Amino acid sequence: PIAPTLPQPVVATLANGLRVVTVERHELPLVTASLVALGGAATDPVGKAGASSLSAELMTKGTTTRSATEIARAVESLGGSISAGASDDGATIDLTVPSAQADTAMTILADVATHPAFQQAEIDRARTQSIDGLNVAMKNPAQLSAMVADRVVYGGRPYGQPLSGTPASLKALTRADLTAAYARSWKPGQATLLFVGDVTPTQAKALAERHLGSWRVAGMASASAKPAEPAFPTPRVIVVDMPDAGQAGVVVARSGIRRADDRYYPLAVANTVLGGGFSSRLNQEIRIKRGLAYGAGSSVAAGRDIGMISARTQTKNPSAAEVVGLIDQQMRLLGTAPVPQDELATRQAVLVGGFGRTIETTDGIADILANYTLQGVPLEELSRYIPRVQAVDSAAVQSASAALLDPKAASIIVVGDAKQFLPALKAAHPDVEVIPADAVNLDSPKLR
């Protein structure tokens, strides 16, 4: 496929340290502005999981001069949309509007970024919704297995704290915890304002100067301030016993790499062969050949820090141990046998196609650049992504897989009705730990 031509990001820096990045796309009269700040859930203190996430969510729910309703109405009346959220590595406010309304809309984005009110009524409402959502998720085998996998793989490392918090940590969060989380991220010296769409670099810089040029908060995220992270824990085999579960959630997961690691591209291609989409090997083996699940997939989470690689599915309780064995086998195979050229080419096309569709929209490009900013990847990666995926050969896939997909270094998590699969699982993995579902403690790296 022909690689689409992408305009290069143009970068400027304001006197207050705010970096302004512009990517021009003039086909449609739309502009996306994303304000991205470093920090995020990885900076939440122990026991305060969910502080960054809740704090970011509340930024659009009221400022010192506008209520949540007024913010929503004002953006809607301009024909736009606004949202805010946090990830492990930072927080983002996204705004998309017709380009003629960009100046007016930026007054709202700047207000949300610099004067969030964190009113107690809004905090209580958002907290209740989050706790309700978590309580539902923790009764779902697939969702709980993913949450447990994060904790098991990362242990006491910052990425191990649940991004959205836990029922216990959310209950304990005070307004002061949320304002502290806000203060950790939102400083111009560690923020980037991305403009993508029908806007020139000159216009973008003028908008940034007018609306955020007077934003002054001392301080910058300094790498030296980060405490040394604990080592990745030893892999574990964990069964969470949920006797009333109709299905079992299965995850096989292990530590991976940073997004800036050169092995990211061979690993991304290997992951697409393993579990990216309907034609992937996991789906072929587990769904198509054996009918053991509606779907099986894998993913690579790679951040500013070392992320994780996971394969997952949901299956009938009695077939849980068989599915673990199949995932294990497919992960090992990628490191021991070369991927045939035709399979490699079709899997690369999946990645290239997905990226190509994302960069067709202003918010898609802004999203990619926001991720690069948070992950510590150069913005030039935007035009290098497709050629770098296409340059991966079978030998690179095999070598990355041998190092990074070896299931010996992986933890196994099965959430379901244990009596239906525990004997078979124990036969292959004698060191299995069983934890009753209602005793799982996501606030602790030990899970108890």
- Tens of pLDDT, residues 84-124: 999 999 999 999 999 999 999 999 999 999 999 999 999 99
| 24 and 224 Cβ atoms separated by less than 8 Å | no
134 and 97 part of one domain: yes
Does the model's pTM come out above 0.85?
yes
Q: Is residue 151 part of a domain?
A: yes
Question: Among 188, 221, 254, which residue terminates a domain?
Answer: 221
Strands 191-197, 19-24: pairing is: parallel
Among 192, 221, 250, the domain-final residue is 221
pLDDT confidence of residue 223: 42
- Our CA dihedral for 275, 279, 285, 288, rounded to 10 degrees, sits at 130
Residues 319 and 381 in one domain: yes
Q: Are residues 121 and 200 in the same domain?
A: yes
pLDDT at position 224 is 39
Asked, for residue 88, whether it belongs to a domain, the answer is yes
- Are 226 and 438 within 8 A, CB to CB? no
Radius of gyration of the chain (CA): 23
pLDDT band at 227 (very low <50, low <70, confident <90, very high): low
Same domain for 424 and 275: yes
CATH code at 420?
Answer: 3.30.830.10
Domain membership of residue 94 (yes or no) is: yes
Residue 385, CA distances (Å) to 42, 78, 304 in order: 26, 34, 17
Taking 60 as the threshold, does the pLDDT of residue 1 lie above it?
no
Confidence band (pLDDT; 50, 70, 90) for 22?
very high
Cβ partners under 8 Å of residue 324, min gap 6: 250, 252, 412, 414, 425, 428, 429
What does the pLDDT look like over 361-381, one tens digit per residue?
999 999 999 999 999 999 999
- The residue-averaged pLDDT of 319-326 equals 99
Boundary (domain end) residue, out of 221, 249, 269: 221
In a domain, 229, yes or no: no
- CA-closest candidate to residue 157, choices 42, 41, 51: 42
Q: Is 214 found in the same domain as 241?
A: no
Number of domains in the chain: 2
Same-domain check for residues 217 and 245: no
Is the per-residue pLDDT at 77 higher than 50? yes
- Distance (Å, whole) CA 370 – CA 35: 8
Residue type, 161: Q
Give yes or no for residue 327 having a pLDDT over 50. yes
The answer to whether position 194 is within a domain reads yes
Residues 33 and 176 occupy one common structural domain:
yes
Whether residues 255 and 164 fall in one domain: no
Kindly state whether residue 381 falls inside one of the protein's structural domains.
yes
Same-domain check for residues 368 and 243: yes
DSSP strands (E only) in 89-190: 90-98
Q: Do 134 and 283 fall into the same domain?
A: no
**Does one domain contain both 92 and 183?**
yes
Q: 414 CB contacts (<8 Å, ≥6 apart)?
A: 145, 238, 239, 240, 248, 249, 250, 251, 320, 321, 324, 421, 425
Sequential DSSP letters for 337-396: SPPPHHHHHHHHHHHHHHHHHHTTSHHHHHHHHHHHHHHT--TTHHHHHHHHHHT--HHH
> Can you tell me which residue has the tokens 């990830």?
87
Whole-angstrom Cα distance, residue 75 to residue 95? 9
Question: Does one domain contain both 345 and 264?
Answer: yes
Task: Domain of residue 44: give its range.
Answer: 10-221
Residue 268 included in any domain: yes
Question: Which of these, 278, 273, 272, lies nearest to 295 by C-alpha position?
Answer: 278
Q: Is residue 5 part of a domain?
A: no
